[in-house]
Structure 1
Amino acid sequence: MKIQESAENYLETILILRQRIGQVRSIDIVNEMNFSKPSISYAMKQLRENGYILMDESGYITLTDKGMEIAERIYERHKVLTDYLISLGVDEDTAKGDACRIEHVISPMSFEMIKKAYLESQKKDK
């Protein structure tokens, strides 16, 4: 199933926040993404209805297995692509921005080849 880029970004943000602060609430996503509370509330409702997140009675958000799979895939792409671009000489801010756009459209095959090349180059540098 194809998921929209915005949903991938929300799921990735939830994963990153969970790793950084532990429990995640909608307000944390608002602060991280600089979006309005109503926008985040609507997005969380859509993610809940589509089975990507769970929200408890206190408002804490948990990724479902389906949501976690997508979040981890996008986050891995983001990290590898960012690091790879930096290793090619791209400045960090540009690399992060470009990786954020590329991570949503790159094919699994192309990503795996870039990842393989990057990891091999890292082994040679050590």
Structure 2
Amino acid sequence: MSLNESAENYLETILVLSKSRPVVRSVDVATELGFKKSSVSVAMKKLRQNEHITVSPEGYIYLTVTGKEIAEMIYERHKLLSSWLTALGVDKDIAAEDACRIEHVISKESFEAIKKHVK
């Protein structure tokens, strides 16, 4: 289930967007991340080839079971780490940026320990 940081960010973005809109398209992901649509299209092709997403004939993007598992794991890490850093007194924007970097490299063991400590 190991992916690079970029792929994890795309999956997380698809998950977050799917919570607030009925369908997600490449243009939505590009707008959200501030990337060119062509760059997002290349990434979506790789995610599709690795069976992390499916794309309907209309261009709607859906997470597969494995894609959703990865996205939810990254999103959980992001939410917990950013709220924890904010609670420690870090500015919310800096906390979100730092959480975004940490969420991809922290081990499962360390994250679970932080999660247990925080809750």
TM-score > 0.5 by shorter chain? yes
Q: How many residues align?
A: 119
Question: What TM-score does the superposition give when structure 1 sets the normalisation length?
Answer: 0.93
Deviation of the 1:4 alpha carbon: 0.6
Larger Rg: 1
Match of 2:105 in 1: 105
> 2:70 aligned with 1:47, yes or no?
no
- Superposed CA RMSD: 0.6
Matches within 5 A, 1:87-98: 87-98=87-98
Distance 1:49 1:22 in 2: 24
Name the aligned partner's letter for residue 94 of structure 2.
T
Deviation of the 1:20 alpha carbon: 1.3
Match of 1:74 in 2: 74
Deviation of the 1:98 alpha carbon: 0.2
Match of 1:13 in 2: 13
Name the aligned partner's letter for residue 52 of structure 2.
Y
Q: SS state of the match for residue 104, structure 2?
A: coil
Structure 2: give runs of 5+ residues left out of the alignment: none
Distance 1:22 1:88 in 2: 36
Structure 1: give runs of 5+ residues left out of the alignment: 120-126
Question: What TM-score does the superposition give when structure 2 sets the normalisation length?
Answer: 0.98
Structure 1 residue runs of 4+, over 2 Å off?
Answer: none
Match of 2:33 in 1: 33
Distance 1:83 1:101 in 2: 14
Match of 1:60 in 2: 60
Deviation of the 1:22 alpha carbon: 2.4
Distance 1:77 1:22 in 2: 24
